[in-house]
Amino acid sequence: MILLDEGFLLIRVGRDRPVVDPYERPVEKLPSSRVLLLFHPRLYSIAMRMIDERRKATISGLLYKAFTGIYMDRRILVVLPFWGAPAAVAGLEVLIAGGGRVFISVGRAGSISPRLRIGDVLIPLWGVREEGTSYHYMPPNYIPRPDSGLAGKLYDEIMWVRARRRIRILKGGIWTTDALFRETRDKIAEYTKRRVLGVDLEATALMTVAKYRGVRLAIADAVSDELYTGEWKPGFDSYALHRTERVLVEAALRTLVKHGA
- Cα–Cα dist 78/64, whole Å: 11
Return the CATH fold of 27-259. Answer: Rossmann fold (3.40.50)
Among residues 92, 64, 68, 93, which one has the least CA distance to residue 78? 68
26-32 contacts at long range (C-beta below 8 A, 24 or more positions apart):
27/94, 27/97, 27/98, 28/59, 28/98, 29/98, 29/99, 30/57, 30/59, 30/77, 30/95, 30/98, 30/99, 30/100, 31/57, 31/68, 31/75, 31/77, 32/68, 32/74, 32/75, 32/76, 32/77
Pairing of strands 74-81, 102-111: unpaired
Q: In the structure, what pLDDT confidence band is assigned to residue 17 with cuts at 50, 70 and 90? A: confident
pLDDT number for residue 1: 41
* pTM (2 d.p.): 0.93
Report pLDDT for 11: 64
* Confidence (pLDDT) at 8: 53
Percent of the chain with pLDDT over 90: 82
Kindly state the greatest CA–CA separation across the chain.
Answer: 58
- What's residue 16's pLDDT? 82
- For the chain, the domains span 27-259
**Least trusted range by pLDDT, from 60-69, 138-147, 210-219:** 60-69
Q: What is the mean pLDDT of residues 127-149?
A: 95
CA 182-183-188 angle, 5° bins: 145
62 has a pLDDT exceeding 80? no
User: Which string of b and e fits 40-49 if b means at least 16 CB within 10 Å?
Assistant: beebbebbee
Residue 109 pLDDT > 50:
yes
Mean residue pLDDT across the chain: 92
Contact status, residue 172 vs residue 106, Cβ threshold 8 Å: no
With 60 as the cut, is the pLDDT of residue 156 above it?
yes
pLDDT band at 35 (very low <50, low <70, confident <90, very high): very high
Pair 173, 124: CB distance under 8 Å: yes
- What band does 104 get if pLDDT is binned at 50, 70 and 90? very high
Element holding 37 (H helix, E strand): strand 34-38
The C-alpha atoms of residue 78 and residue 72 are separated, in whole angstroms, by 15
Please tell me the predicted confidence (pLDDT) of residue 233: 96
pLDDT one-digit tens code per residue, 186-243: 999 999 999 999 999 999 999 999 999 999 999 999 999 999 998 999 999 999 999 9
